[in-house]
């Protein structure tokens, strides 16, 4: 099913309500420490303004639990938007139960920011009345926030149901196009790398991927559980003994399709998880009882890089090791460079993966970096994301 896109519409004179992901990190004094998300939203906002829309931006910040809380005010975001857009972006504080005069009086090509949607309990509850209240603010609702697309909330789902027109913004549309390209009709072979801390958080993803991919590579704490499943001694490494059967069934499912899940043959180990801890590289058979596997070794990293080199499409979530520790970052670095250098279409996503990619300086060379952590993983699992499903429904009715 298709969706309508903001660029398909004539926005002149229309009140356009855009849901953005502006949930930026702040320090203790409320200063924005990373404005990437605000910067990412600028092209959409500018485009809507240039198209003659009366632009209202809405977003959440933190978890204010349905109450007004100055700590979570979007005031610093309004200030930053004002700077970056070079035009005044007023913050509208009272809009939760009415259409305020600031909205009524907004002119063509002007923009304002609505205060945190989560100051009202109805947002996370996808409350019908609050959704209708939001819908009454606009002629056109634009969802541009992929990061919250896996949640059915008033600002991502309910409002799309009741707004006169509901469409995807350019950022969301790009996410949808890229993930569709990577998963629905991928250039083969499709290679997926799933690393990170725990199997438990990614079991569904691993299972879904075994059905779709030509080659699955596991890394990080996840690989430890797989090593355990293969009967290896992994000393004091992070692993989930209760999930070895699940790991074994993933290995079996891949084997049945003719693809082994390659496990680390050499590893980097330490006696404690700290930046000061001395590390050594050894064969996987030589891990001591008092040691932890914190990264793959160079031989393993080179083998994974070789597999990545031959890929048509690459999907990546999760580091190969504890990359925050400089002495345990090499495996992840080798992988990131291999992905960056490959000819394949590469898509990466999920919280720590972006930090790992940024650390290696390869951000520009990955074909597509998803902004959504949970949403990215749920998409890969093959789940329908509610915020996208409702846009499809609305397009169908149009």
Site for ligand AMP, rule CB under 6 A: 196-197, 201, 220-221, 224, 238, 293-294, 318-319, 321-322, 324, 350-352
Smallest separation, CB 315 to ligand AMP (Å)? 14
Of 141 and 323, nearer to ligand AMP (C-beta) is 323
Smallest separation, CB 39 to ligand AMP (Å)? 24
Residue nearest to ligand AMP as judged by C-beta position: 196
Catalytic residue among 15, 37, 80, 118: 37
Catalytic residue among 62, 201, 236, 351: 351
Of 59 and 218, nearer to ligand AMP (C-beta) is 218
| Catalytic annotation present for 198 | yes
Smallest separation, CB 327 to ligand AMP (Å)? 12
Smallest separation, CB 288 to ligand AMP (Å)? 15
| Catalytic annotation present for 374 | yes
One-letter-per-residue 3-state SS of the chain: CCCCEHHHCCCCCCEEEEECCCCCCECCCCCECCCHHHHHHHHHHHHHHHCCCEEEEECCCCCCCCCCCHHHCCHHHHHHHHHHHCCCCCEECCCCCCCCHHHHCCCCCCEEEECCHHHCCCCCCCCHHHHHHHHCCCCEEEECCHHHCCCCCHHHHHHHHHCCEEEECHHHHHHHHHHHHHHCCCCCCEEEEECCCCCHHHHHHHHHHHHHCCEEEECHHHHHHHHHHCCCCCCCCCCCHHHHHHHHHHHHHHHHCCCCCCCCCEEEEECCCCCCCCEEEEEHHHCCCCCEEEEECHHHHHHHHHHHHCCCEEEEECCCCCCCCHHHCHHHHHHHHHHHHCCCEEEECCHHHHHHHHHHCCHHHCCEECCCCHHHHHHHCCCCCHHHHHHHHHHHHC
Catalytic residue among 109, 374, 382, 383: 374
Of 76 and 221, nearer to ligand AMP (C-beta) is 221
| Catalytic annotation present for 65 | no
Catalytic residue among 68, 198, 271, 303: 198
Of 294 and 338, nearer to ligand AMP (C-beta) is 294
Smallest separation, CB 238 to ligand AMP (Å)? 4
| Catalytic annotation present for 373 | no
Of 36 and 200, nearer to ligand AMP (C-beta) is 200
Catalytic residues: 37, 198, 351, 374
């Amino acid at each position: 099913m298709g969706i309508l896109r903001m660029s398909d519409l004539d926005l002149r004179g229309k009140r356009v309500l855009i849901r953005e992901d502006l949930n930026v990190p702040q320090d203790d004094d409320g200063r924005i420490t990373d404005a990437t998300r605000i910067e990412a939203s600028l092209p959409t906002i500018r485009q809507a303004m240039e198209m003659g829309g009366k632009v209202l931006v809405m977003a959440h910040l933190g978890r204010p639990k349905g109450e007004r809380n100055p700590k979570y005010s979007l005031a610093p975001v309004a200030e930053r938007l004002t700077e970056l857009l070079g035009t005044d972006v007023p913050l509208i504080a009272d809009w939760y139960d009415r259409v305020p005069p600031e909205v009524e009086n907004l002119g063509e090509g002007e923009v304002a920011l609505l205060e945190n949607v989560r100051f009202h309990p109805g947002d996370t509850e996808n409350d019908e009345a609050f959704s209708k209240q939001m819908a009454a603010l606009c002629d056109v609702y634009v969802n541009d926030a992929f990061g919250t697309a896996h949640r059915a909330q008033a600002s991502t789902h309910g409002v799309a149901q009741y707004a006169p027109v509901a469409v995807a913004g350019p950022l969301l549309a790009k996410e949808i196009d890229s993930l569709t390209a990577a998963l629905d009709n991928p250039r083969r072979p499709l290679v997926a790398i799933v690393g990170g801390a725990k199997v438990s958080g990614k079991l569904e993803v691993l299972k879904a991927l075994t059905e779709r991919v030509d080659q699955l590579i596991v890394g990080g704490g996840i690989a430890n559980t797989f090593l355990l499943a293969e009967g290896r001694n992994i000393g004091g490494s992070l692993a989930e003994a209760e999930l070895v059967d699940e790991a074994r069934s993933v290995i079996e499912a891949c084997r049945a399709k003719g693809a082994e899940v390659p496990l680390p043959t050499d590893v980097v180990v330490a006696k404690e998880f700290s930046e000061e801890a001395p590390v050594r590289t050894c064969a996987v058979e030589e891990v001591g009882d008092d040691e932890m596997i914190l990264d793959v070794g160079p031989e393993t990293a080179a083998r994974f890089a070789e597999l990545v080199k031959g890929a048509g499409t690459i999907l990546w979530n999760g580091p190969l090791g504890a990359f925050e520790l400089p002495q345990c970052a090499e495996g992840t670095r080798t992988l990131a460079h291999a992905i960056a250098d490959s000819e394949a279409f590469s898509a990466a996503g999920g919280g720590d993966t972006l930090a790992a990619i940024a650390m290696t300086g390869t951000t520009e060379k990955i074909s597509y970096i998803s902004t959504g952590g949970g949403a990215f993983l749920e998409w890969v699992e093959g789940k329908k994301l509610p915020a996208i499903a409702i846009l499809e429904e609305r397009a169908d009715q149009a």
